[in-house]
Structure formats: structure tokens, C-alpha cells
């Protein structure tokens, strides 16, 4: 057989990689009744790198720390890059849990934001993230409350998007959660760990996991970084915030 011209061979290979998977063990009797992946949650990250170009390289290459990707990357000038289709599973979340979701990469859309972890986010960048969230939540019917940080789902491993991320601003635009109304002391018997679990944090993994969850909570709701040695202790203000967060929460839907 004559060898295929290199370009044609490449095109055929690419086509094969995209072809629908049909199991040779079975007879293919296609049904029209299916749909593509439906993401139900959105995860925000910081890149912890110095430039958008560096992150574009990391997210598209064999990375020394393992291959990673995200659906989107938002530059500090507000430019939005897309690297993976919304319908495909990008590799941004890794191991972790949020509520009952354990395979976060399958369930989510990942947005990396160009920020080194020490600097404030820029105005055009946050405006772009909000525009992107408006688009994604509308197109996929994702509730605005289902926007979380990487540190929320993997508090023992991750600290992004960090204490500088403006979660209150995001909430005012309709995304994430934030305590509403007057902050008051919770009633006697209030269990802060139950409240954390109700919000979505995994707090059943022992002392280290609980301490890490408290650090993630402080980053997100108090704009504060507890550093490398967090403790599993809530302050009075934490309890007031937790109480306000679960007081405002509607009962969990059985479909969750």
C-alpha cells in the first residue's frame, strides 16, 4: 500500500481521535436521546505565575509537575482565553470534594485567573470573570451559588484563588455565596462544622482536614491567609458569618 502523504495521515489521525467511541463488542444501534456533558459547578483558580503567556504554556504542555489544563484563562488586561471546550473535561481541579461532588473535573468548568497569589486582581480581570460567569451560568443553567474556589474543594492542597479574591464583589454580581443581613451570634447549640458541611466543605477527614477547611473559609469570607499552620478553631466572627450563610440557605434540593 502506498504511504499516505504526511498531511493526509495527520488529518486522518486527528479525525480518529475525535470519532465517537463505539464498543466493538456491541452492535451499534444509535439513539438520538442523549446530550453532552453538563457542568454543574464552576471553579476559580489563580495561576500563581508571572504572566499570561507562561500560563498558556503550562496549561497546554507536558508540565514537569504533570499535565494540567483549564477551560478558560483570564489575563490581567481582561482578555479571556479558552483552552478546552466547555463540553470536555479539563484537568484543573484534581482530587477533592464539594458537597456530594467527588469528581470535580467531570462536574465543573475551570477558570484560571492570571495572578501570582500576592497581588490584587485587576479591575478589567474581575469584570471579565463576571462576564464569563454570566455567560456560563446562563448557557448551562448553573446556579450562581455554584461558583467556588479551588481551595474550597481541596483545602488541604490548595489556597487559590487566595485571600485577595473579591468574593463579596462577585456575590453582588450574582455569583458565589456571601453572608447577608445583620451578623448576629448564633443560637446555643449551633454546630459550626455542620454549617461548614452544609455549605459544601469536607470536614470529616480529621483534625488536619478541618484546620485546612477553616483556612479556606478565612480566605474566602474574611480575606485572610492563615498560612501554613492553620488551626481547626472558629472565632466569634466566623460563627456569626457561618450562621448567616446557612440561615440564608434554602433547603438542599433532592436533585443535588
Rule CB under 5 A: which residues touch Zn ion? 45, 150, 160
Rounded to the nearest whole angstrom, what is the least distance from the CB of residue 13 to Zn ion in the complex?
Answer: 32
Q: How far is CA 209 from CA 197, 201, 217, 236, in A?
A: 12, 10, 12, 21
The residue among 47 and 137 lying less far from Zn ion, judged by its C-beta, is 47
Q: How far is CA 222 from CA 51, 71, 75, 87, 168, in A?
A: 27, 28, 25, 34, 10
The residue among 150 and 220 lying less far from Zn ion, judged by its C-beta, is 150
User: Alpha-carbon distance 33 to 17, whole Å?
Assistant: 23
The residues that bridge with 113 in the sheet, in sequence order, are: 46, 74
Assess whether 119 carries a catalytic annotation. Answer: no
Rounded to the nearest whole angstrom, what is the least distance from the CB of residue 61 to Zn ion in the complex?
Answer: 17
Task: Count CB neighbours of 209 within 10 A.
Answer: 16
Task: Count CB neighbours of 77 within 10 A.
Answer: 11
Rounded to the nearest whole angstrom, what is the least distance from the CB of residue 94 to Zn ion in the complex?
Answer: 8
User: Alpha-carbon distance 42 to 150, whole Å?
Assistant: 10
Rounded to the nearest whole angstrom, what is the least distance from the CB of residue 239 to Zn ion in the complex?
Answer: 28
The residue among 47 and 145 lying less far from Zn ion, judged by its C-beta, is 47
The residue among 56 and 246 lying less far from Zn ion, judged by its C-beta, is 56
Place of cell 488551626: 231
User: Exactly one of 112, 123, 182, 235 is catalytic; which is it?
Assistant: 112
Q: Which residues are identified as catalytic? A: 112
Amino acid at each position: 500500500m502506498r504511504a499516505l502523504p504526511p498531511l493526509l495521515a495527520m488529518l486522518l489521525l486527528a479525525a480518529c481521535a475525535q470519532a465517537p467511541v463505539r464498543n466493538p463488542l456491541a452492535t451499534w444501534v444509535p439513539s438520538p436521546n442523549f446530550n453532552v456533558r453538563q457542568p454543574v459547578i464552576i471553579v476559580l483558580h489563580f495561576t500563581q505565575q508571572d504572566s499570561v503567556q507562561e500560563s498558556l504554556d503550562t496549561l497546554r504542555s507536558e508540565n514537569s509537575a504533570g499535565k494540567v489544563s483549564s477551560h478558560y484563562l483570564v489575563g490581567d488586561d481582561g482578555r479571556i482565553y479558552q483552552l478546552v471546550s466547555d463540553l470536555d473535561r479539563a484537568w484543573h481541579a484534581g482530587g477533592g470534594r464539594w458537597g456530594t461532588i467527588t469528581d470535580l473535573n467531570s462536574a465543573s468548568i475551570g477558570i484560571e485567573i492570571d495572578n501570582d497569589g500576592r497581588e490584587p486582581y485587576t479591575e478589567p480581570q474581575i469584570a471579565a470573570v463576571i462576564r464569563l460567569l454570566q455567560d456560563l451560568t446562563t448557557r448551562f443553567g448553573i446556579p450562581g451559588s455554584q461558583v467556588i474556589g479551588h481551595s474550597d474543594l481541596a483545602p488541604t492542597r490548595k489556597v487559590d484563588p487566595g485571600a485577595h479574591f473579591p468574593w463579596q464583589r462577585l456575590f453582588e454580581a450574582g455569583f458565589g455565596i456571601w453572608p447577608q443581613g445583620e451578623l448576629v451570634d448564633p443560637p446555643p447549640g449551633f454546630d459550626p462544622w455542620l454549617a461548614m458541611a452544609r455549605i459544601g466543605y469536607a470536614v470529616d477527614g480529621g483534625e488536619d482536614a478541618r484546620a485546612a477547611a477553616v483556612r479556606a473559609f478565612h480566605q474566602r469570607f474574611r480575606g485572610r491567609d492563615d498560612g501554613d499552620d492553620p488551626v481547626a478553631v472558629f472565632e466569634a466572627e466566623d460563627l456569626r458569618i457561618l450562621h448567616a450563610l446557612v440561615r440564608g440557605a434554602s433547603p438542599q434540593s433532592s436533585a443535588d
